[in-house]
């Protein structure tokens, strides 16, 4: 484990969209953390990594990383889903803590295997669910903490896009080991947000459909969760939404909150902006949500989005023994919900966890 006086040296495996846009910039922007190496077999991506982060080591395979494990303090995995578990186990075998991009694993059993090895070795492991720090999620948490909604009754959340033409590749294939499709992809974020906000789930109902010709796995998903707290979460993910629904609609016994548009951090990262830039995570007033008590309506200023919080908390976990940003319990529960949703969609019934 690293000392509290030295920056955490990070080895990033994978430099596609996830590694290049959603991990490397946030790692580089985090105090107490250095991007030390990037592992990718793609020559163009290796050149991209060298150009974007001068001074790092770039390698073509993970064998180099395991041979140089002593020069690292954390491994971040941003690779195709079926490789997450083997790479995580290899990192733990090298005595390195791990962050795994979503989905953490294809099954809850595989996730348990990784977490059990981590527990034996006393190494922190977490899942990269940064959408807990979406602007709308942080704004909703503030409203709930102030009692503005009263007792929350229903949480509606959508991440919908318009991509009528398939791109091809493993994400649209049907092989179970690939863990492709929207339920594992965007759906895992929606499920994690609901868990984070409203706690454990006791019932799951889901509908999964393949709407586009040429794809083999779900591109249109609905998941209904009944939380132990009594809150009902309704979650939608679709690639065929030319007009998306409201990003969030939350009703309580004292009021309701509606947020039409979603967080802007993803777009900013894709464009090359990093945390620390002026206005990072902030939204203009025209994107703010609305709060109503049934009589009066008011615009609610959005809390700034804060994806950088994830790696800041990893620094605290590694240097000071604080909890990891996303716990093992939440990782397992999220995957159990995905498994229950898969079963529910086939059997067309509610599944009890």
Distance from the first to the final alpha carbon of the chain: 36
Contact 143, 313 (CB under 8 A): no
Identify whether the C-beta of residue 173 lies closer than 8 Å to the C-beta of residue 167.
no
Q: Distance between CA atoms of 316 and 168, rounded to whole angstroms?
A: 39
The rounded distance, in Å, linking the Cα atoms of 217 and 209 is 8
19, 62, 93 from 67: Cα distances, Å = 21, 9, 12
Structure tokens at 237: 């993910």
Per-residue pLDDT tens digits for 335-347: 999 999 999 999 9
- pLDDT over threshold 70, residue 61: yes
For the chain, count helices (H), then strands (E). Answer: 11, 15
Here the tokens at position 193 are: 């947000």
User: Is the Cβ–Cβ distance between 133 and 193 less than 8 Å?
Assistant: no
Mean pLDDT of 140-155: 98
Say how far apart CA 145 and CA 260 lie, in whole Å. Answer: 21
Whole-angstrom distance, CA of residue 137 vs CA of residue 144: 11
Rounded distance, CA 198 to CA 210, Å? 29
Burial classification of residue 284, based on how many CB atoms lie within 10 Å of its CB (0-12 exposed, 13-18 middle, 19 or more buried): exposed
Residue 138: pLDDT above 70? yes
Dump pLDDT digits (tens) for 74-93.
Answer: 999 999 999 999 999 999 99
* In the predicted structure, residue 1 carries a pLDDT above the cut 80: no
- Residue 261, pLDDT > 90, answer yes
d(CA 20, CA 270): 9
Res 5 pLDDT > 80:
no
H helix intervals, 184-327: 186-198, 265-270, 309-320
Give 103-123 pLDDT, tens digit per residue: 999 999 999 999 999 999 999
CA distance 215 to 174: 8
Calculate the alpha carbon distances from 122 to 89, 92, 322 in Å: 13, 10, 13
Mean pLDDT of all residues in the chain?
A: 96
Alpha helices (H) in 146-276, listed in sequence order? 186-198, 265-270
Residue 230 DSSP class? S
Q: Identify whether the C-beta of residue 78 lies closer than 8 Å to the C-beta of residue 25.
A: no
Determine contact, residues 41/60, Cβ cutoff 8 Å: yes
Contacts of 265 (CB under 8 A, 6+ apart): 134, 135, 280, 281, 305, 307
Least confident of 75-79, 170-174, 239-243: 170-174
Kindly list the structural domains of the chain, giving each domain's residue range(s) and its CATH number in brackets, ordered by start. Answer: 8-128 (3.40.50.720), 133-309+336-352 (3.30.360.10)
pLDDT tier for residue 4 given thresholds of 50, 70 and 90: low
CA distance 5 to 82: 36
């Amino acid at each position: 484990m690293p000392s509290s006086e030295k920056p955490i040296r990070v080895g990033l495996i994978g430099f596609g969209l996830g590694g290049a846009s959603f991990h490397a910039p946030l790692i580089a922007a985090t105090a107490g953390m250095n991007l030390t190496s990037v592992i990718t077999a793609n020559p163009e991506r290796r050149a991209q990594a060298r150009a974007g982060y001068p001074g790092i080591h770039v390698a073509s395979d993970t064998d180099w990383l395991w041979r140089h494990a002593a020069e690292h303090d954390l491994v971040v995995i941003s690779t195709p889903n079926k490789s997450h578990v083997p790479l995580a186990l290899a990192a733990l075998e090298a005595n390195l803590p791990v962050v795994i991009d979503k989905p953490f694993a294809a099954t809850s059993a595989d996730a348990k295997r990784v977490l059990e090895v981590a527990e034996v070795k006393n190494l922190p492991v977490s899942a990269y669910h940064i959408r807990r720090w979406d602007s709308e999620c942080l704004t909703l948490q503030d409203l709930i903490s102030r009692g503005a909604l009263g007792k929350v009754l229903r949480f509606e959340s959508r991440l919908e896009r318009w991509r009528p033409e398939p791109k091809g590749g493993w994400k649209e294939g049907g092989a179970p080991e690939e863990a492709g499709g929207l339920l594992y992809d965007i759906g895992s974020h929606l499920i994690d947000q609901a868990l984070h906000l409203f706690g454990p789930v006791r019932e799951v109902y889901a509908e999964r459909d393949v709407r586009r010709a040429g794809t083999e796995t779900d591109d249109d998903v609905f998941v209904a969760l009944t939380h132990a707290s009594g809150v009902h979460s309704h979650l939608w993910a679709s690639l065929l939404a030319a007009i998306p629904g409201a990003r969030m609609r939350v009703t309580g016994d004292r009021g309701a909150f509606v947020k039409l548009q979603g967080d802007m951090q993803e777009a900013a990262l894709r464009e090359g902006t990093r945390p620390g830039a002026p206005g990072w995570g902030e939204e203009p007033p025209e994107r703010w949500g609305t709060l109503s008590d049934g009589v009066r309506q008011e615009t609610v200023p959005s809390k700034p989005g804060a994806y950088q919080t994830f790696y800041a908390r990893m620094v605290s976990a590694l240097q000071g023994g604080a909890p990891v940003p996303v716990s093992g319990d939440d990782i397992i529960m999220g995957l159990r919900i995905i498994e229950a949703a898969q079963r529910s969609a086939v059997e067309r019934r509610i599944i009890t966890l």
